[in-house]
Amino acid sequence: MQKDHVYAEPLAHIQDFRFDDAVADVFPDMIQRSVPGYQTIIQTIGKLTARYQQDNSHYYDLGCSLGAASLAMRRHITAAKGKVIAVDNSRAMIERCQRHLQAFRSDIPVEAVLADIRQIPIENAAVVVINFTLQFLPPEDREALINRIYQGLKPGGILILSEKFKTDDTITNELLIDLYHDFKRANGYSELEISQKRTALENVMRPDTLASHAKRLQQAGFNAHNLWFQCFNFCSMFAIKD
C-alpha cells in the first residue's frame, strides 16, 4: 500500500481537492487513515448485503473509488442473478477499480462505470451504497439523487449512506472536528497535512447536518431510516424501502 504524502510538503497555492492519479495511487492508505471506522463500515455493508439481497437484483456502489464496497457486496451475494454496478466519475479511480475487481475471482458480475452518479439510471436495486460521496455533490443536487435511489430500490431494499456531517451549534461542531483531527494525528498526519487537506476540501466537500439527512430520506419516502454508526463527525445511516 503506497503511503499518502499528498499534502506533506508546503504548497504555495492549495488547489481544490481532486480525485486524480496522485490521490487514486494512495487512496487505500488515505481513506484508512482519514475516515474513522472505515473498515467497520465496509464490513457492515457486506453483512447488510447478505441480509437484504434479493434474486434478480442490482447492487449499486455510487462513488465507488477503488471498489471496496463493491467487493464487500460481491463477497456476500448468494441470491440468484445479482449484478454489482460500481460508478465513479474519476477516470483514475475507475481504471484502478476495474483492476481490483479483476484481481479477485467471482461468479457475480460487476460493471465498473465511468459516469456521474447524477446521470446513471438506478433500477431494480436490492442494495444501494453511497459511501462518503453524497457530500461531494452540490447541495442542491442531493435531494434528486436520494429520490431517484428510493424510486430505484425494490420493496424491501436498503440504502446505506455514509457521510461526514456537521452540527448546528459551534461548540459541538468544533469539538467533533478537534477529536477528528486528534484521530488524524494519531494516524501519522502532520499539522501541515491536516490543515492543507482541510483547505483543499473546503469548496468541494460540504457536509449536511444529521437532521437534514433524516428529512431528505423521509421526504423521499423512506419511513424506516436510522443512524447505525457514528465516530466523531463521521456516520453511516441506513434507510429501508417498505
Q: Which residues are annotated as a binding site for S-adenosyl-L-methionine?
A: 38, 63-65, 88-89, 116-117, 131, 198
Closest alpha carbon to 61 in 35, 25, 97, 36: 97
Q: For residues 181 and 188, what is the distance between their CA atoms, to the nearest angstrom?
A: 11
Strands 153-166 and 125-131: parallel
- Amino acid present at 142: R
Of 17 and 52, the one with the shorter C-beta distance to ligand GEK is 17
Contact flag: residue 159 with ligand GEK (CB under 6 A) = no
d(CA 92, CA 65): 9
Q: Which residue lies nearer to ligand GEK by CB, 50 or 201?
A: 201
Number of residues that bind ligand GEK (CB under 6 A): 20
From residue 234, alpha-carbon distances to 18, 63, 80, 164 in Å are 20, 17, 34, 4
3-state secondary structure of 203: coil
- Which residue's CB atom is positioned nearest to ligand GEK? 63
Q: What is the dihedral of CA 100, 102, 106, 112, to 10 degrees?
A: 80
Task: Indicate the residue among 96 and 241 with the shorter CB distance to ligand GEK.
Answer: 96
Task: State which of residues 6, 86, 117, 153 lies at the interface with ligand GEK (CB under 6 A).
Answer: 117
Question: To the nearest whole angstrom, how small is the minimum distance from the Cβ of residue 28 to ligand GEK?
Answer: 8
Which range binds ligand GEK by CB under 6 A, 83-91, 152-160, 178-186, 208-216?
A: 83-91
For ligand GEK, the binding residues (CB under 6 A) are 19, 31, 63-65, 68-69, 87-90, 93, 116-118, 131-133, 136-137
